[in-house]
């Protein structure tokens, strides 16, 4: 596909979906954002408007930029409206069955040449591609939260993904002002594969009493130039999410180096999941 992608369909108007919509619209790309209810798409659109307002306050955008971006986002509850897009990005919850159901619905209305990407952070691209009728046109496009601010996009090639599909999606990521990295399909891809075991190791260090949580985080911030320490980051992500990811790695790779720290398991069992429950490693 030599022509650049000018219209992107997005399935899901939640945090990731509306963030991707904003990134596309502010880069001059037309968007069709679909969700199950009008309330859901309107909430997504309102989030984009609020995000643009904050950029205006910081003098990083103008009212004209905001109007132009919002005018490029069409909202719908009808999958048929996705047919106008050259690429459709699925940005639903991390649930394989749900994503499969969505992909089947989308494929029923999409022309055969339309590319499909999933914004999954953990589900196998090869496995999802195999469940579609266009495996060579299927790819992973993992954006990071908050999408408008984060430069990174992991582009994940399934075993079946064609070079043409990869080239088109890579070009789109650059057009969005992002810095894409290309990754083969494997659990956790690259960033989370390195990040979550590091967080798990920080829990082992804490459990062994080598240092306090504050000192572990200060050490990693000052010694490795990380903007936030691994334990504070775990609280932000959710300790339950970190544990679930480690369990997936342990199961998929069968390597004991992915064994979740007993302290992490214990804290999740106690309901201390981090910021969302008011208490994790730290109290909020």
List 18, 51, 119, 121, catalytic entry = 121
Question: Edge to edge, what strands does the sheet with 152-157 contain?
Answer: 73-76, 30-34, 7-11, 87-90, 115-118, 138-143, 152-157, 179-184
Active site residue 225: no
Catalytic residue among 154, 170, 185, 200: 154
For the question of residue 154 being annotated catalytic, the response is yes
Which residue is associated with the tokens 């679930």? 244
Between 1.10.3720.10, 3.20.10.10, 1.10.1040.10, 1.10.1060.10, what CATH number should domain 192-276 receive? 1.10.1040.10
The CATH topology of domain 7-184 is Rossmann fold (3.40.50)
Q: Which tens digits make up the pLDDT trace of 107-120?
A: 999 999 999 999 99
Give the tens place of pLDDT for each residue, 52-91: 999 999 999 999 999 999 999 999 999 999 999 999 999 9
Kindly tell me if the per-residue pLDDT of 92 is higher than 80. Answer: yes
The radius of gyration of the chain from alpha carbons, rounded to an integer in Å, stands at 20
pLDDT tens digits, one per residue of 215-274: 999 999 999 999 999 999 999 999 999 999 999 999 999 999 999 999 999 999 999 999
Q: What is the structure's pLDDT at 2?
A: 60
Domain boundaries of the chain, sorted by first residue: 7-184, 192-276
Output the six-digit token pair for 282. Answer: 């730290």
pTM for the model? 0.92
Which of 122, 142, 162, 185 is catalytic? The answer is: 142
Cβ-based neighbours of 129, under 8 Å, separated by 6 or more? 135, 138, 158, 159, 160, 161
Q: Give the count of alpha carbons within 13 A of 139, CB side only.
A: 27
In the chain, the percentage of residues whose pLDDT exceeds 90 is: 97
Instruction: Calculate mean pLDDT across residues 28-44.
Output: 98
Across the strands, what pairs with 117?
89, 139
Q: Please tell me if the domain spanning 7-184 has the same topology as the one spanning 192-276.
A: no
């Amino acid at each position: 596909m030599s022509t650049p992608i000018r219209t992107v369909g997005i399935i899901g108007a939640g945090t990731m979906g509306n963030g991707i919509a904003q990134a596309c619209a502010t880069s001059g790309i037309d968007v069709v954002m679909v969700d199950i209810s009008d309330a859901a798409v309107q909430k997504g659109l309102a989030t984009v408007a609020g995000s643009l307002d904050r950029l205006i306050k910081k003098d990083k955008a103008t009212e004209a930029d905001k109007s132009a971006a919002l005018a490029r986002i069409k909202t719908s509850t009808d999958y048929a409206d996705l047919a106008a897009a050259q690429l459709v990005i699925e940005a639903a919850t991390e649930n394989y069955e749900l994503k499969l159901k969505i992909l089947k619905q989308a494929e029923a209305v999409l022309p055969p040449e339309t590319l499909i990407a999933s914004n999954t952070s953990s589900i196998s691209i090869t496995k999802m591609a195999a469940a579609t009728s266009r495996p060579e046109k299927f790819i992973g496009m993992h954006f990071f939260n908050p999408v408008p601010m984060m430069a990174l996009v992991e582009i994940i090639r399934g075993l079946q993904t064609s070079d043409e599909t990869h080239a088109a999606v890579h070009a789109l990521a650059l057009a969005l002002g992002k810095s894409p990295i290309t990754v083969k399909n494997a659990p956790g891809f690259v960033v989370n594969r390195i990040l979550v075991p590091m967080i798990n190791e920080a829990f082992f260090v804490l459990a062994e009493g080598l240092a306090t949580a504050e000192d572990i985080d200060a050490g990693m911030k000052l010694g490795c130039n990380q903007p936030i320490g691994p334990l504070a980051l775990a609280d932000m992500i959710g300790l339950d999410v970190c544990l679930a990811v480690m369990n997936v790695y342990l199961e998929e790779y069968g390597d004991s180096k992915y064994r979740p720290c007993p302290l992490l398991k214990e804290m999740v069992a106690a309901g201390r999941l981090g910021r969302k429950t008011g208490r994790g490693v730290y109290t909020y």
